[in-house]
Structure 1
Amino acid sequence: MAELNGYEPVGASLDIYRRSREPGVQRLAQELPPVGATVDLVIGEVRTWHRKPWIWVDLTAPSHDPSDRP
């Protein structure tokens, strides 16, 4: 689960299992930050949700290697 500063009514998370092939997510999974840490993530997908908050933001981790980007 994640908190989006300034967008508190919106739910958000980074699904490490579903996005495990993305280079930035692989790196983040190997260097798991401590609970409560602030990390920079990017929006992977915005979708409707079946309960409040009705909108869910699927996050992903940016790659630091420009050759990994599409």
Structure 2
Amino acid sequence: MDEKVILAELAPAITALKTLSLVALDMEDAHPLALPEPPDAAKVAAYERQMNAIAQQVNAGHR
């Protein structure tokens, strides 16, 4: 699998992680022990499906 294809597939996950890091950094007014709201279950399931599909593609290329 080409490196550009892998990076293109990972782009949505990278974007999500950037968003989560911005949420984590914007906590000046929040309680020190407060956690951000967990992501929606549908988003988590979609992310897991996408990561599993990428893993299967990578594994198929190494067989």
Give the TM-score, by structure 1 length. 0.24
Determine which structure has the larger strand proportion and give its number. Answer: 1
Higher relative contact order (CA 8 A, sep 6+): 2
Larger radius of gyration: 2
Going by fraction, where is helix more abundant, 1 or 2?
A: 2
TM-score relative to the length of structure 2: 0.25
